[in-house]
Amino acid sequence: MGELIVNNKDIVVPGEELAQGLDYLPSFGTYREENFIISARLGMVNIDGRTIKITPLTGRYSPKRGDTIIAKVIDVTFSGWRLETNCAYAAMLSVKDATSDFIARGADLTKYFDIGDYLVAKITNVTSQKLIDLTMKGPGLRKLIGGRVIKVNTNKVPRIIGKQGSMISMIKDATNCKIIVGQNGLAWINGDPQNEFIAVSTIKKIEEESHISGLTERVKEYLQEQTKNMNIPKPTTHEEHDDYRGE
């Protein structure tokens, strides 16, 4: 009564027919029109039992509750801060969510976070108008000092981080750089100039080749090749594989 028109992992475009009949359920990135389930995005087909969804290959970040992001302070108000999040929607961080310290009314909030500061923060709420609430209270959440922020494809962030942070830890160890990757497509890197370059180019490589199998091996080889002539000290403390901690 229902049949698949495409295979798992196929790359499809908007308007492409994925399945016929009522057996399958349309999920993220697809829609149903009469007898067909159709793709609404450019992405990869992901069939999970009877559910068909699309894993997007491209597109700007869509804010989600629970995401850890890197945001930039653009305004300081009486009650908190306004931040840019690398998507169309701004975020608010209220004083009470910023720190456990007691902050007196009328205190100078720029002492905590000033315009231009980058913060690692967590999204606590997204309204129907996509306005974002943030908190800085939580493990690993803090202001970033030094380093630089680069843009990465938000859809590739899971691959860049890897299962339980395995991929990003591999890069951090090989280059001795501090790296934090936000779900919103911003990544922060801090290390020696030459090592930073290797870390950044490795991340770019993952972005470009994430859909080609054998990625982990290739990344391992690439890092070995790039760092073989350099004297990079091994990290002295045992790092947990938590992407938002351990520098």
Q: Which residues bind other proteins (CB under 8 A)?
A: 9-11, 13-17, 29, 31, 38, 40-42, 44, 46, 55-60, 62, 87-90, 116, 118, 128-130, 146-148, 155, 163, 166, 192-194, 196-197, 200-201, 209-216
Nearer to other proteins, 4 or 95 (CB): 4
State how far the Cα of 105 lies from the Cα of 82, in Å rounded to an integer: 18
What's the closest the beta carbon of residue 49 comes to other proteins, in angstroms?
15
Nearer to other proteins, 41 or 172 (CB): 41
Which positions ≥6 away from 176 have C-beta within 8 Å? 191, 192, 195, 232, 233, 235
Nearer to other proteins, 103 or 216 (CB): 216
**In Å, what is the CA distance from 228 to each residue of 55, 174, 223?**
36, 10, 8
What's the closest the beta carbon of residue 183 comes to other proteins, in angstroms?
15
Nearer to other proteins, 96 or 130 (CB): 130
What's the chain's Rg over C-alpha atoms? Answer: 21
What's the closest the beta carbon of residue 69 comes to other proteins, in angstroms?
16
What's the closest the beta carbon of residue 4 comes to other proteins, in angstroms?
17
What's the closest the beta carbon of residue 54 comes to other proteins, in angstroms?
10
Report the candidate in 56, 121, 110, 52 with the shortest Cα–Cα distance to residue 86: 121
**In Å, what is the CA distance from 152 to each residue of 5, 100, 123, 187?**
32, 32, 19, 7
Nearer to other proteins, 6 or 103 (CB): 6
Report the candidate in 170, 179, 157, 92 with the shortest Cα–Cα distance to residue 131: 92
